Amino acid sequence: MTPDDLVRLRRARDRINRAYAEPLDMASLARTALMSPGHFQRSFRAAFGETPYTCLMTRRIERAKALLRRGDLSVTEVCLAVGCTSLGSFSSRFTELVGETPSAYRARPHEESAVIPPCVARTFSRPRRAGPPARP
């Protein structure tokens, strides 16, 4: 992989991080990296250790956790706010990555994380796959 490829892949990952709430498809992300969709997916995984879709969903769940901790939005409102269009898919993915349903996460107290600066909290609260690692 060339340094130019890495720059373009970082540009696509930055777009995922910035525009996670917008509808993002593989073709538009690949265009951001100036690659074909297949080459983009393989290169992204090789560079960052996860697929673009996994990266996008992790970012969405990360943001959903923050919105659910606030407690002023319903699970459906959070689902839509982070760019998911299906409540069922959102709940399934949230449960897979966090280990509990969005409703259960929202209902439990989160005072212990209130004293932690947000930049540090993001590092330690980043969603991780709860099950065995995915096969390459």
**Listed residue (64, 66, 68) closest to 82, CA to CA:** 64
Residue 115 pLDDT grade (very low, low, confident, very high; cuts 50, 70, 90):
low
pLDDT tens figures, 30-84? 999 999 999 999 999 999 999 999 999 999 999 999 899 888 899 999 999 999 9
pLDDT at 117 over 70: no
Q: Which amino acid is at 57?
A: M
For 22, the enclosing helix (H) or strand (E) is none
Burial of 4 (0-12, 13-18, 19+ CB in 10 A): exposed
DSSP state string for 36-93: -HHHHHHHHHHHHSS-HHHHHHHHHHHHHHHHHHH-SS-HHHHHHHTT-S-HHHHHHH
Residue showing tokens 């100036």:
34
Q: State pTM to two decimals.
A: 0.79
Mean pLDDT estimate for the chain: 86
CA distances from 26 to 29, 80, 130 (A): 5, 20, 25
